[in-house]
Amino acid sequence: MTPALSISDLRKVYRGGTVAVNDLSMIIEPGDFFGFLGPNGAGKSTTIHCVTGIATPTSGAIEIFGVNAVTSYREARRLIGLSPQEFNVDPFATPRQIVEWMGGYFGLHGPERKRRTDELMERFDLIEHQKKNFRELSGGLKRRVILARALVHGPRLLILDEPTAGVDVELRRDLWRYLQELNRDGTTILLTSHYLEEVERLCRTIAIVSKGKVVRSGPKEEFLIDGLEAAYLSATGAEPDHVAGAAA
């Protein structure tokens, strides 16, 4: 079967010489819920930027459902929905506009775009908020708008870069439910998160990235033998005491 995402020997060196991604390879099977973990600065967002065309790879190959992400950028990008780590929206735009504009970008117009926007407002419980300014919304509501925007064109691969950072417990649970429904309906999901509990609950496959490389990957069950936290700490070379703040 053609992978949903295939990355081979991806390398990204920023101007100035920072090697953000250092020969990273990984494969995500269609239908998977894939957790992408690693410390700050490990290269997760840069990898996502290369996959979605925000950054140009220095070398290596990326295919989305068999489509080359660099040479067939437009076709590849249509297959992806992206919820970026930073909110990249006009703070004065309304949730409705934000979703409609992205629909327009992907070629949805007129009644079709209206119908799709209505559907997403309904699905993410945004109807009562759809005419407010984005900046007035709580962190959890903002995340839902960004998720709705990511889905407007019906992508087959949904990429979420730290979607629950700064989201309170209740709204995080809502987001989990939405993501599980989407995955059940066949959408492949790549999730980046620092919440190990969240990854353990949602993901079927996990990759841990450190210093621009995948240092460990496999089915979730393999990580649970010693516990995900222990696996994470040993794969990234962190000192448990340091991380837990327990050094006395």
Tell me which stretch binds ligand ADP (CB under 6 A): 12-20, 88-96, 171-179, 180-188: 12-20
> Are 161 and 84 contacting, i.e. CB atoms less than 8 angstroms apart?
yes
Instruction: Tell me: does residue 38 bind ligand ADP (CB under 6 A).
Output: yes
For 125-133, the CB contacts below 8 A with 24+ separation are 125/174, 126/95, 129/95, 130/94, 130/95, 130/96, 131/94, 131/95, 131/96, 132/94, 132/95, 133/91, 133/92, 133/93, 133/94
Q: How far out from the chain centre does Cα 1 lie? A: 22
Instruction: Tell me: does residue 18 bind ligand ADP (CB under 6 A).
Output: yes
- Nearer to ligand ADP by Cβ, of 10 and 120: the residue is 10
**Among 6, 45, 188, 193, contact with ligand ADP (rule: CB under 6 A):** 45
Tokens of 86: 């930073």
- Nearer to ligand ADP by Cβ, of 100 and 161: the residue is 161
Tell me which stretch binds ligand ADP (CB under 6 A): 22-30, 40-48, 100-108, 122-130: 40-48
Rg (CA), the chain: 18
- By CB under 5 A, how many residues form the interface with Mg ion? 3
**Among 35, 43, 103, 140, contact with ligand ADP (rule: CB under 6 A):** 43
Residues that bind ligand ADP (CB under 6 A): 14, 18, 20, 38, 40-46
